[in-house]
Structure 1
């Protein structure tokens, strides 16, 4: 816990230190040392049909595939990393974790059928205030490894919504059910990989999927982290 609290301060003065433990990074490493990267809890869902993320959407929206890279839990190293790239301007962490996701997705036969990656959009005013969309950074990281194009205008958020953090499944769905629409670009017949940071109830990704499917696309889902209960 102490190392996690000290890490942002250590990184400020010693930028070649691991974001989690604060130790020096060996040559060729970035963001995380080998030990801390290996300690992040991989789900391996990208290799298995009927995994817990896919099951979230059963009977709700006809997606093709669904996965999440890591398990998410409170007060974990992963939570610290996500907090830093969402709220502390650490865009490099999001892109790095996107690349780690990209390496895993290359193991999935279905990834070769993906035509483009679509990040879950932020409301424009929120993105302007933050300066970036963290889902788009994750998508960029995936694209750097897989070579898949990123469509940042394929999906639009047309109204502001309150944070989803403290809402249950019903509240989350009511919060986002009519928020998203497909952009003005041809999506008919394309297989799109929808990306976001954390999936809990799946309300946001479900609403996004409905909008893309209504535009004629097929949709698969890849989130960085799965918040299991």
Structure 2
């Protein structure tokens, strides 16, 4: 039976090859979403081993944070950008799940990384969710949760406002644009929780700041920031 399934896989791969989300080359039978070569050459930040990493320094003084980590560096024209594009615009939630899993394997090896009680993905506005069909940050959270064994809460923190584009705004203007965009539905559920707040890419950090400040209004809440990519 295994041999027959193997032949069928080979036949399907011949006509409908699965392609690597990073480089676009055909995947081998034992590869999933991202090829082995691209995994091996991921530009990892190793921020989880350095509490004073550059991403953490970018957030210093803006809100209290337990740890600030990102898996890889984001650079324009890179394979990381290809994967982020697949995740956000090419209907490939599996890319986010796989990246979350890969990062979780690295975090599990760390002697420095502190596990949280709960994972909360940065929410999408309902209109964007309807258009995309999924929240890319929740896909990343699913991959992290599966390996780290930390539960996800994706229903409590919600986005009320579909804010205008942030790309040409200053950091403070971005935060001002977002300060009333989010809402917590059940604060009691989060009391005394150490929350890992998940996003896909950190640039200015304004979205993460707005969410964190809101969550930290709840008694005993601590925040750790985790993204897949960090834009230098």
User: Same fold judged by TM-score > 0.5?
Assistant: yes
Which structure 1 residue ranges, 4+ long, deviate > 2 Å from structure 2?
Answer: 13-28, 107-113, 163-168
* Structure 1, gaps ≥5 residues long: 1-10
Question: Using the alignment, how far apart are the partners of 1:108 and 1:156 within structure 2?
Answer: 31
Match 2:21 to one of 19, 28, 33: 19
Match 1:201 to one of 191, 201, 204: 204
Report if the CA contact (8 A) 1:182-1:215 is conserved. Answer: no
Report if the CA contact (8 A) 1:84-1:90 is conserved. Answer: yes
Question: Using the alignment, how far apart are the partners of 2:39 and 2:25 within structure 1?
Answer: 13
User: Where in structure 2 are the equivalents of 1:66-215 lying within 5 Å?
Assistant: 66-109=68-111, 111=113, 113-184=115-186, 185-215=188-218
C-alpha distance 147-15 of structure 1, shift in aligned 2 (>3 A): farther
Corresponding residue SS for 1:178: coil
Question: Using the alignment, how far apart are the partners of 2:45 and 2:160 within structure 1?
Answer: 33
Match 2:228 to one of 221, 224, 228: 224
Deviates most, 154-163 or 22-31: 22-31
Please state how far the C-alpha of 1:112 moved relative to its aligned partner. 5.2
Corresponding residue SS for 1:195: strand
Deviations, residues 19-72 of structure 1 (Å, cap 9, x unaligned): 333444233211122111112210000111111111122111001111010000
Q: TM-score, length-normalised on structure 2? A: 0.87
**Equivalent position of 2:51 in the other structure:** 49
Structure 1 residue 40 corresponds to structure 2 residue 42: yes
Q: Cα RMSD between the aligned structures? A: 1.9
Please state how far the C-alpha of 1:110 moved relative to its aligned partner. 6.0
Report if the CA contact (8 A) 2:103-2:144 is conserved. Answer: yes
Report if the CA contact (8 A) 1:47-1:107 is conserved. Answer: no
* Structure 2, gaps ≥5 residues long: 1-12
- How many residue pairs match? The answer is 218
Please state how far the C-alpha of 1:227 moved relative to its aligned partner. 0.4
**Equivalent position of 2:8 in the other structure:** none
Question: Using the alignment, how far apart are the partners of 2:67 and 2:42 within structure 1?
Answer: 23
Report if the CA contact (8 A) 1:16-1:24 is conserved. Answer: yes
